[in-house]
Structure 1
Amino acid sequence: MKYILLLGLFALCLMACQSTKTEQTMTTSTQPNKELAAFFEQYYEERLKLFPLEATQQGDSRYNDLLPNDISQEFISELKKFYTNNLAKINTFERSTLSDEDKIAYDTFKRELEVQLEGMAFNQELIPFQQFWGLPLTMGQLGSGESSQPFKTVKDYDDWLKRVKAFTVWGDTAIANFRKGMAANVVLPKSLAIKMIPQMNDLVVTDPTKSLFYGPVTKMPSTFSEADKSRLTAAYKKMIMEDIVPTYKKLGDFIKSEYVPKTRSTSGIDVLPQGKELYTYLVKYWTTTDKTPEEIYQTGLQEVTRIRGEMEKVKQQVGFNGTLDEFFVHLKTDKQFYPYTKPEEVLKDFNGILAKIEPNLKQMFNNTPKTPFEIRQTEKFREASASAEYNQGSADGSRPGIFYVPIPDAATFNKTSGMESLFLHEAIPGHHYQISLQQENTNLHKFQRFSWYGAYGEGWALYCESLGKELGLYTDPYQYMGALGDEIHRAIRLVVDVGLHTKGMTREEAIKYMMDNEPISEEGATAEIERYMAIPGQALSYKIGALKIRELREKYEKQLGNKFKLSAFHDEFLKDGGMPLDVLERKMDAWAAKQGSVEKL
């Protein structure tokens, strides 16, 4: 008995020694690499100088007067050298020696640089902007004084004057690049190019005080001296008439007289030189996966069929006699779905959604943001053409995250348009939780804190729509129908985006397919399809990301059984900020393996 006891004590001692060794090893392996951290910090600081608009958006005012000519060959060569040098530097670190957190940062960083360098082979600067996004549109937002460009100090006002000077150079380069594209048969579809003409012409004025860019002058702080007010007012009038107006007029005239006649009648980019290769790259860039366009197309067809089946069930549940198409019309036109008379009533219902889900949120998330959250009506000056959106708060929490709802006319606000799913996506727990937790996490490297991956961020927001029933929503079948409408919209994107750019699907065929499969107006469908024509691949990221998150959740639920905790899954997903989906899956697999081993111990 004593012998057995001694053996038992020896075994316990041996286990304790081994445990201590393991703990020491684990402690060593979990220490952040200081050299890597310093390298990431240097990269982040150097990159802000190359992309000062991103610094402005993040609230970093150091480069608010800069606007690099990012479509010039000089800039592109400098950027290529920057990425190449930093890729070489990251490869000097031994990945296997890094902590788990640093491995995530390493993998994310390395993939980002490799993908950016790969994209430079396609000369995308030959189409420097289009009707959906680009610097001429961004400048209007910034210069209005209603965006991230600050207009609080005299220096702020002077910074903008310098930034605008650089825009005139950018405009000339844009025209030169468009001409190179025309010579190489790399041009936009005509239906997109003609939309750009009024966008440019609308910013051409004869009276500087009527310009969008005069907005900051009308809101000049009263604390400014009279001398500064007078000087800046004169400077802004001059800037509008000598820099802004000539640049936009030149761009508008060029597009109308030279560019539109050379545009194409086709819809997809596969007809362009290297178009097929470019689309394959853009699919990889936006989805952060190696899925082929054909795989994504087939997934889209399957999802559209599945969701239509769910819609049929709702139609039967509410006792509607008619086809699904007729049900779509009913949802868009029946007066019972338009109960509002005042914007405040719409906002009250959105606040009611938040109150309804709050008790269940506590069961789904252990970690929640400190950043304040608000629901606001979109400002009058932009709500006529705006969509509901989330504007992120500041990293320090001084500016709240805001869910903006455009309500130009409360009487036309459709209650079945998916209010509950919209809130889950744009607000809580969608974009507000994900973006705020990422920005607030000072343990992340800055390039991670302020990064954005659509497949991760939009995928998360769309996944959050699927949590409606678990959060106590979708008890009204019409709200569930609205959620299905939002979901099928993202599934349709997989079909029409790939169809446009690889299968010869025309703009008109894509618009019809969208209208045949969801309750959307022709105007809305047209704007959506033209968006996919302008930025191929981007719209794929939502559904591909959401499907991956759901796939991972179901895998771990099956793998861990009753050891699976949804709140722990969500916390782990959000803990390390945005990343490519392949990096995410490796991280989450490691987490799941750890959950199982911890339970066994």
Structure 2
Amino acid sequence: MKLLKLALVASSVIGALMGCSSTTSQQNNSKPVSSSINAVVSELSAEQQLDVLVDQYYNESLAFSPIMATYSGKNEFNDQFTPEISATNRNKKAAFYKKYQQRLAYIDSQQLTGQALLSYEILQRDLALNLEGMQFPSYFLPINQMSGAHNVFAGFGSGQSAQPFKTVQDYDNFLKRSDGYIKWLKSVELSMAEGIKQNIVLPLPLAKKLAPQFSAHVVNKAEDSLFWGPIKNLPNSFTVEQKQEITAQYRDLIMKQLVPAYQSMHTFLINDYIPSSRVSVGYSDFTNGKAWYEYQIKKNTTLNLSADEIHNIGLSEVSRILSEMKKVKHTVGFDGDLPAFFTHLRDSDEFYFNTADELIEAYENVKKKIDAKVPQLFNVAPKAPYIVKPVEAYRSQSAAGASYSAPAPDGSRPGIFYINTFNLKAQPKFLLETLSIHEAAPGHHFQIALQQEIDGLPDFRKFGGYTVFAEGWALYAESLGKELGLFTDPYMWYGRLADEQLRAMRLVLDTGFHAKGWTREQGIQYMLANSSMAESDVVAEVERYIAWPGQALSYKLGEFKIKELRDYCKKELGSQFDIKAFHTQILIDGALPMPILEKKIKRWVQSQR
């Protein structure tokens, strides 16, 4: 209790002092502030100081991201939405990052070990990187066909996502959150309009695909709206009067507020934005675009690699995997060259499902098969279960072929392995095993659900993450398929190669678009020539890389780093190397930037000797 009280006092005093430190330092050269802080924290160890700081950092950060708060189970934010896009709010965020940089600097990192040292290194890196990124005008591109808070809001409002609809207060919270959404959406429109003036706009194909995401919510009757879902499922515990009042409120919300807001955004896109969209696709075409893309590489991969280095790695990997695919072609006795084999795989009905139900059932069966084999290579597993579910209709046309959604931290919602059933020709049977490994077990579900379940992990790490770690791990997990006794069918092995080839091509295309002037059509033809992917899937992938510069680099580069660390451990530990222990070490501290993961693994190896 004494430590808890001391920590709370330290937290409040340090926060107050640091909040005024800039003014004090200007007037008094910061000495009174420093001495006051030192006096407060002197009774706390460095680890205790850090515990206080990271807890306050995370809780304060949720004001900038109420959506993340809801996903994290922090229900006190369920009535709020993402802050409006404005210079004032950007300045607030910059001040927030700088404040915690200053506070972190008072902690002696030499006294930290274990999780505390990892938290210090992660927060120090993240704060610097976030501040560096604020020089780039990403606020002119706040949404795209792949992502945006507008789609998250629709998911929340459907009653099928993280937003709870169990009590009267829950229903009232969403009404208030909707007010914030409408204000945010208007700020999106204004920011994108300013982007037109600054020549920072989405490419035309991406802008065109945004419009249907808004027109889908322009309905003539409230009952036809996605947002009517919670009304269809009003809890039986509500009184008749409560049900009547909530129903009337939601009818007004949909028809008088949400439909006009969606209509306004759709009109803006059709009349103003789409006609002003650009022909080029890469970030290199923007003013300072080269530096912006280099930042995106660093942010997404956490590695110091140039676009040229990554491009060349991709070309080499594509060539290697094509050679492996030729071996499969010979194994199955296909008479023809590799392009003909690709055409055969694309066009032959035997490789595809006839209905969406058949597709989902097949993945449910593979789930059972894989779940039984995972203990062969792992001595840790998440407590939370996961289910297989089709992507909702409202977002299926532009959603990825498969994805994973984390379970609720309180266990009220399982992890979800989403399969997109919109285009069955984009879901070949030979991807069943490799895709299930990647998205569910032992891929994303193991890594993300375990991270949420780690005792004592600070919330900013429990609910944070790094694309290169998450996607690198999932792709590495695919590489374990043969060790798990999977991929015994040559077509299933081809599926693994096809998935790996997709990630290798990403290295080529992402850098091609954003650093080398490639066109959208050039990217499409490259993917068609080097894979058996359906053209509709290729187009969606190409437009994804255009929309998310740097993100697609994370998969292969993350896998490479984890494999490199495994090889290092095997070499250093020899007969002492235990694959289960290695996997535990990768997963047990949650997602880490790759340089920090490498240092951690090397410290672990030293401790094993």
TM-score normalised by length of structure 2: 0.88
Match of 2:483 among 441, 466, 470: 470
Q: In structure 2, what is the Cα distance between the partners aligned to 1:187 and 1:392?
A: 32
What is residue 12 of structure 1 aligned with on the other side? none
What is residue 421 of structure 1 aligned with on the other side? 434
Taking a change above 3 Å as real, the CA distance of residues 408 and 283 of structure 1, as seen in their structure-2 partners, is closer
Q: In structure 2, what is the Cα distance between the partners aligned to 1:100 and 1:46?
A: 25
> Aligned AA for 2:462?
R
Matched, 1:72 2:86: yes
What is residue 282 of structure 2 aligned with on the other side? 268
The correspondence of residues 178-189 of structure 1 with structure 2, limited to 5 A, is: 178-189=192-203
Q: In structure 2, what is the Cα distance between the partners aligned to 1:200 and 1:505?
A: 30
Q: In structure 2, what is the Cα distance between the partners aligned to 1:349 and 1:245?
A: 37
> Per-residue deviation at 1:131?
1.5
Q: In structure 2, what is the Cα distance between the partners aligned to 1:527 and 1:390?
A: 18
Residue pair 2:281, 2:519 contacting (<8 A) in 1 also = yes
> Aligned AA for 2:190?
A
Q: In structure 1, what is the Cα distance between the partners aligned to 2:603 and 2:81?
A: 42
> Aligned AA for 2:592?
M
Residue pair 1:426, 1:432 contacting (<8 A) in 2 also = yes
> Per-residue deviation at 1:232?
1.2
What is residue 3 of structure 2 aligned with on the other side? none
Taking a change above 3 Å as real, the CA distance of residues 221 and 384 of structure 1, as seen in their structure-2 partners, is farther
Residue pair 1:340, 1:411 contacting (<8 A) in 2 also = no
The correspondence of residues 383-398 of structure 1 with structure 2, limited to 5 A, is: 387-398=401-412
> Aligned AA for 2:310?
I
What percent identity do the matched residue pairs reach? 41
Residue pair 1:182, 1:262 contacting (<8 A) in 2 also = yes
Match of 2:174 among 144, 149, 160: 160
What is residue 311 of structure 2 aligned with on the other side? 297
Taking a change above 3 Å as real, the CA distance of residues 238 and 487 of structure 1, as seen in their structure-2 partners, is same
Match of 2:559 among 546, 549, 554: 546
Q: In structure 1, what is the Cα distance between the partners aligned to 2:262 and 2:337?
A: 49
> Per-residue deviation at 1:424?
0.9
Taking a change above 3 Å as real, the CA distance of residues 69 and 395 of structure 1, as seen in their structure-2 partners, is closer
**SS class of match (1:404):** strand
Structure 1 stretch 116-125 or stretch 31-40: which is displaced more?
Answer: 31-40
The correspondence of residues 443-462 of structure 1 with structure 2, limited to 5 A, is: 443-462=456-475
> Per-residue deviation at 1:365?
1.3
**SS class of match (1:577):** coil
For residues 94-123 of structure 1, what are the alpha-carbon distances to aligned partners after superposition, in whole Å with 9 as ceiling and x for unaligned?
Answer: 111101221111111111111111110012
What is residue 494 of structure 2 aligned with on the other side? 481
> Per-residue deviation at 1:407?
4.8
> Per-residue deviation at 1:80?
0.7
What is residue 8 of structure 1 aligned with on the other side? none
> Aligned AA for 1:431?
H
Taking a change above 3 Å as real, the CA distance of residues 104 and 48 of structure 1, as seen in their structure-2 partners, is same
Q: In structure 2, what is the Cα distance between the partners aligned to 1:202 and 1:379?
A: 13
> Per-residue deviation at 1:228?
1.4
For residues 215-265 of structure 1, what are the alpha-carbon distances to aligned partners after superposition, in whole Å with 9 as ceiling and x for unaligned?
Answer: 211111121111211111111111112221111111111121112222211
Q: In structure 2, what is the Cα distance between the partners aligned to 1:35 and 1:457?
A: 29
Taking a change above 3 Å as real, the CA distance of residues 348 and 336 of structure 1, as seen in their structure-2 partners, is closer
Residue pair 1:341, 1:411 contacting (<8 A) in 2 also = no
Q: In structure 1, what is the Cα distance between the partners aligned to 2:345 and 2:250?
A: 49
Residue pair 2:54, 2:458 contacting (<8 A) in 1 also = yes
> Per-residue deviation at 1:353?
5.3
What is residue 129 of structure 2 aligned with on the other side? 115
Matched, 1:347 2:391: no
**SS class of match (1:402):** strand
What is residue 247 of structure 1 aligned with on the other side? 261
Residue pair 1:346, 1:410 contacting (<8 A) in 2 also = no
Matched, 1:437 2:485: no
**SS class of match (2:404):** strand
The correspondence of residues 28-67 of structure 1 with structure 2, limited to 5 A, is: 33-67=47-81
Q: In structure 2, what is the Cα distance between the partners aligned to 1:383 and 1:508?
A: 23
Matched, 1:504 2:517: yes
**SS class of match (2:244):** helix
Q: In structure 2, what is the Cα distance between the partners aligned to 1:338 and 1:305?
A: 27
C-alpha RMSD over aligned residues = 2.1
What is residue 384 of structure 2 aligned with on the other side? 371
> Aligned AA for 1:396?
D
Taking a change above 3 Å as real, the CA distance of residues 402 and 202 of structure 1, as seen in their structure-2 partners, is closer
Match of 1:518 among 525, 531, 541: 531
Residue pair 1:297, 1:495 contacting (<8 A) in 2 also = yes
> Per-residue deviation at 1:296?
0.8
For this pair of structures, how many residues does the alignment match? Answer: 564
Match of 2:414 among 397, 400, 419: 400
Q: In structure 2, what is the Cα distance between the partners aligned to 1:358 and 1:583?
A: 32
**SS class of match (1:125):** helix
Match of 1:573 among 586, 590, 597: 586
**SS class of match (1:122):** coil
> Per-residue deviation at 1:576?
0.5
> Aligned AA for 1:141?
G
**Structure 1 portions without partners, runs of 5+:** 1-30
Matched, 1:194 2:201: no
**SS class of match (2:134):** helix
Q: In structure 2, what is the Cα distance between the partners aligned to 1:382 and 1:191?
A: 17
> Per-residue deviation at 1:334?
2.6
Q: In structure 1, what is the Cα distance between the partners aligned to 2:121 and 2:423?
A: 48
Matched, 1:256 2:259: no
Q: In structure 1, what is the Cα distance between the partners aligned to 2:133 and 2:359?
A: 47
For residues 44-86 of structure 1, what are the alpha-carbon distances to aligned partners after superposition, in whole Å with 9 as ceiling and x for unaligned?
Answer: 1111122111011122211111114242212111111111100
What is residue 138 of structure 1 aligned with on the other side? 152
Residue pair 2:325, 2:494 contacting (<8 A) in 1 also = yes
> Per-residue deviation at 1:436?
1.6
What is residue 591 of structure 1 aligned with on the other side? 604
Q: In structure 2, what is the Cα distance between the partners aligned to 1:409 and 1:124?
A: 32
> Aligned AA for 2:441?
I
Structure 1 stretch 214-223 or stretch 334-343: which is displaced more?
Answer: 334-343
Taking a change above 3 Å as real, the CA distance of residues 377 and 205 of structure 1, as seen in their structure-2 partners, is closer
Q: In structure 2, what is the Cα distance between the partners aligned to 1:304 and 1:298?
A: 10
> Per-residue deviation at 1:560?
2.1
Which of the two has higher C-alpha Rg?
A: 1
> Per-residue deviation at 1:345?
7.7
Residue pair 2:303, 2:595 contacting (<8 A) in 1 also = yes
> Per-residue deviation at 1:383?
6.0
TM-score normalised by length of structure 1: 0.90
Structure 1 stretch 425-434 or stretch 123-132: which is displaced more?
Answer: 123-132
Q: In structure 2, what is the Cα distance between the partners aligned to 1:587 and 1:343?
A: 44
**Structure 2 portions without partners, runs of 5+:** 1-44
Matched, 1:314 2:331: no
Taking a change above 3 Å as real, the CA distance of residues 99 and 526 of structure 1, as seen in their structure-2 partners, is same
Matched, 1:559 2:584: no
Match of 1:238 among 242, 252, 270: 252
For residues 345-384 of structure 1, what are the alpha-carbon distances to aligned partners after superposition, in whole Å with 9 as ceiling and x for unaligned?
Answer: 853564345435634x323112222222334455677667
Taking a change above 3 Å as real, the CA distance of residues 53 and 377 of structure 1, as seen in their structure-2 partners, is closer
Residue pair 1:356, 1:472 contacting (<8 A) in 2 also = no
Residue pair 2:366, 2:436 contacting (<8 A) in 1 also = no
